[in-house]
Amino acid sequence: MALTDSAVRAAKPHAKACKLFDGGGLYLELSPAGGKWGRWKYRFGGKEKRLSLGVYPGVTLKSARERRDAVRQQLAAGIDPGQARKARNLAVAGADSFEAIAREWYAKFSSRWVVDHSDRILRRFEHDLFPWLGQRSVYAVGQRSALRHRGHQEQRRRRSHRDRGVEGRHVDLHAGHPPA
């Protein structure tokens, strides 16, 4: 049975999250805090997936159904709606991605630096920052992601030092020198 707007308005939060089903994979998820999220459950590539269609009352039941129908057409065309949304968000973030802004900053200030310093800065960006933060919007890069990145950077530095030590011993042994 399809949901009605009055049933959605009257829905009260429970101790655990619960779902009110509408049909065609569309359901309303009620959180214990009182939030009401319109979601769509679908299968792509043999896996069950979910897609958020908006928060009630900002997105009405009627518009959630329209959104569901639009993404169903994508699914019928062989496109994963979740991946399509992620790609669209990345394209929007492309102009203000961390990498784009960092490269603009580098272009603006690198002419004032010594060539070695300039090369070292760009190399550090490319090796240490861009793989983890490059495609993210500068607005999405916060203190937590920077701290998480700092952990990756520290692990990479330790591996680099360890590998240099192992390679040095390997070369020394083959050259006939006693290990250090």
Task: List, for residues 25-74, the tens digit of each pLDDT value.
Answer: 999 999 998 889 899 999 988 899 999 888 888 888 889 899 999 999 98
Query: Token digits for 48?
Result: 């069950």
Which carries the bigger pLDDT value, residue 113 or residue 95?
A: 113
* Model pLDDT, residue 16: 92
Q: Is the dihedral of CA 46, 48, 49, 54 positive or negative?
A: positive
Q: Show Cβ contacts of residue 72 under 8 Å, excluding neighbours closer than 6 positions.
A: 24, 42
Between 16-20, 85-89, 125-129, 162-166, the lowest mean confidence (pLDDT) is in: 162-166
Domain assignments of the chain as residue spans, ordered by start: 5-92, 98-175
Average pLDDT over residues 115-127: 89
* Model pLDDT, residue 73: 92
Average pLDDT over residues 11-23: 88
Complete DSSP assignment for 141-167: --HHHHHHHHHHHHHHHHHHHHHHHHH
- Identity of the residue numbered 124: R
pTM: 0.52
Confidence of residue 116 (pLDDT cuts 50, 70, 90): very high
Task: List, for residues 148-168, the tens digit of each pLDDT value.
Answer: 656 666 666 666 555 555 444
CATH tag for 5-92 (out of 3.30.565.10, 3.40.50.300, 3.30.160.390, 3.40.190.10) = 3.30.160.390
Task: List, for residues 72-98, the tens digit of each pLDDT value.
Answer: 998 888 888 888 887 777 666 566 777
- Does residue 38 contact residue 55 with C-beta atoms inside 8 Å? yes
Give the CB-side neighbour count of residue 72, counting CA atoms within 13 A.
13
* Model pLDDT, residue 85: 82
- From residue 177, alpha-carbon distances to 162, 167, 168 in Å are 20, 14, 11
- Does residue 71 contact residue 79 with C-beta atoms inside 8 Å? no
Instruction: Say whether pLDDT at 123 is over 60.
Output: yes
Average pLDDT over residues 14-29: 89
- From residue 77, alpha-carbon distances to 29, 74, 86, 110 in Å are 27, 5, 17, 47
